[in-house]
Amino acid sequence: MHQILDPILLRSLVAVVDTGSFTRAAESTHLTQSTISQQIRKLEAQLGCDLLIRKKRYTTVTTEGERIVTYARRILAMMEDAITQTAASAEQRPIRLGVPEDFATHELMPTLTRFARAFPDVRLEVKSGLCSEMWSQFQNNDLDLALVKHRLGRAQGMASWPEPLCWIDGKNSHNLQQTTVPLVGLPSTGLYRSEMAHTFDMLGKKWRMAYITTSLSGVGCAVEAGLGVSLLPKRLVTPQHHILGIDDGLPDVPPLELLLHVAPEQSNQTKFLAQYLTEACNAIFDRV
């Protein structure tokens, strides 16, 4: 049966050899002299040989002891290195940020660049997608921070901003006049898609999904091309869109709410990122 060397015993042996006495070894390891003596005897019993020569005023090491001390130093150094590397790895755990697809492009890039320059050693992982996906991942602790759009009053976050919405058609299109109105939107799990369906059902208008995409920028381009009517954040409206409203028979839609969610007990770097995101969103919505 293989013997397993206890690092505690090895540390006591190295302390005795380095200090030259059991008394000083006990002081350096914050143990009692009797405990040091017991540990050395236990190690000698395990190995079946004497490791130290005990004299009145000092202690010397045997030939076998010198060999074991050499291995002990390596073992203890490797253990210390393993602990240090593990701690460093834990500190370098990436900060995971989730954002809506329409914020993953130029909207937040200056902010992410600012953060990367301020904290060059931090790994930042950014995920984007539908808000329902980001919210689910945040609730499952798969994200440290998340910008998520909710219906007003449905959730709480560290910071919030209203996201005004508006109906749009292509600049030279008249899709509302069709018997069955073509709509452009996100998949069925998206907030905009459900709001459009609810509105047209409430108005008693026939509708069909003419174009479906997971990208809000794709929605905007499809509307510009005349493929259908859609509901978009007001800040994404382009000169190639025609804004629809009450005069066109479409009701105003309450704004959504963009919330910044931050998981509890985060690092200082994560808190700085939350501050940067808050400042960026303040600037974005000040322009709306």
pLDDT digits (tens, 9 = 90+) for 177-196: 999 999 999 887 778 888 89
| Rounded Cα–Cα distance for residues 220 and 21 (Å) | 80
- Same fold? 7-91, 165-254: no
Q: Is the pTM higher than 0.85?
A: no
Q: Are 256 and 182 in contact (CB under 8 A)?
A: no
Cβ neighbors of 138 (< 8 A, separation 6 or more) are: 98, 146, 148, 261, 263
Is 204's pLDDT higher than 70? yes
CA distance 68 to 9: 11
CATH annotation of 165-254: 3.40.190.10
pLDDT digits (tens, 9 = 90+) for 124-174: 999 988 888 899 999 999 999 999 999 988 889 999 999 999 999 999 999
Distance CA 151, CA 220 (A): 21
Q: Which two tokens stand for residue 154?
A: 């449905």
Over 80: is that where the pLDDT of 1 sits?
A: no
Name the average pLDDT for the chain: 89
CATH of 7-91 given 1.10.357.10, 2.30.30.700, 1.25.40.10, 1.10.10.10? 1.10.10.10
Spatial distance between the Cα atoms of 154 and 160, rounded to a whole number of angstroms: 12
Give the homologous superfamily in CATH for domain 95-156+264-286.
Periplasmic binding protein-like II (3.40.190.10)
Exposed, middle or buried: residue 49 (CB in 10 Å: 0-12, 13-18, 19+)? Answer: middle
- The residue ranges of every structural domain in the chain are 7-91, 95-156+264-286, 165-254
The pLDDT assigned to 281 comes to 92
Q: CA angle, corner 12, sides to 6 and 18, nearest 5?
A: 135
Rounded to whole angstroms, how far apart are CA atoms 272 and 124?
Answer: 13
